[in-house]
Amino acid sequence: MSDLVTKSSDLASAQTSELRSELARGLTLTAQVLTRLGAIWMELERRGEDLADLRTGLARTLPLIATGRLAAEAVVSFAGRPLVLRCLEGLPLDEQRRLADGAPIPVYLPGEDAPQSLPIARIPSAAIGRVLCDGTIRTPAEQRIAMRRPKKKEKPLRRYNVTVDRESQMITVGHATVAVSAVLAALTEAAGGAVEVVESSDRPARTIATKVTDDEKERIKAAALAHGITEGELVRRAVFAMWLI
């Protein structure tokens, strides 16, 4: 019998052990080819080549093989289970190869009192993420905790447009409108700053000087007068409202 069985008649007459040996050699060769292709992928990217058009099918795993995130043997064994490959990412390569070879893992399944020793091929998809997580194989105890932990429902992120009307001094967020002064007051209060500086012997006050135009100076003076506070207190309130101190 030749090393390579090609004809259907040869397959039918070949011994089971011979077929298994040939299959194993073919899978090993495929893993070697994937490892080689992963290295080629990395070199092309190092040269600045755009490989986006090749990220389809089996080629999607080549960058992961190239960077050591996935073992080629695991890709061959679990090519039809992308969820398994995603969960295997980051697991030590030797461990990935061991699992690809059929090594069992203790797995807790719903309704069972004790873990079962199962190869990945027999682990239900719903349990894969509990067993393989963040580059580790969870212990049975960790799996049980994960089973009891309720899944957090992600709230949809709402985005609103913010507009400011300088003439009316109003801020509009989405469909809500509020006065600029109210927003600044709320920000100042949330920042936890007092408008006036309480000076003491152990906490002396300091003066910070800045330049403004004549027009800006008049506007600051008018704003301070309207709020019944000094110009310095007005500036301090503005700084706190911006959460700068």
Widest CA span in the chain: 103
* CA–CA distance, 130 with 107 (Å, rounded to integer): 9
Per-residue pLDDT tens over the stretch 6-65: 555 577 787 877 776 776 666 566 778 878 888 888 888 888 888 776 666 666 777 888
Q: How many CA atoms lie within 13 A of 114 on its CB side?
A: 2
Quickly list H helices, the chain. 8-13, 16-46, 62-66, 72-77, 82-88, 93-100, 125-131, 140-148, 180-191, 214-227, 231-241
Per-residue pLDDT tens over the stretch 78-108: 877 888 989 999 899 999 999 988 999 999 8
Q: Are strands 176-179 and 116-118 parallel, antiparallel or unpaired?
A: unpaired
* CA–CA distance, 4 with 21 (Å, rounded to integer): 10
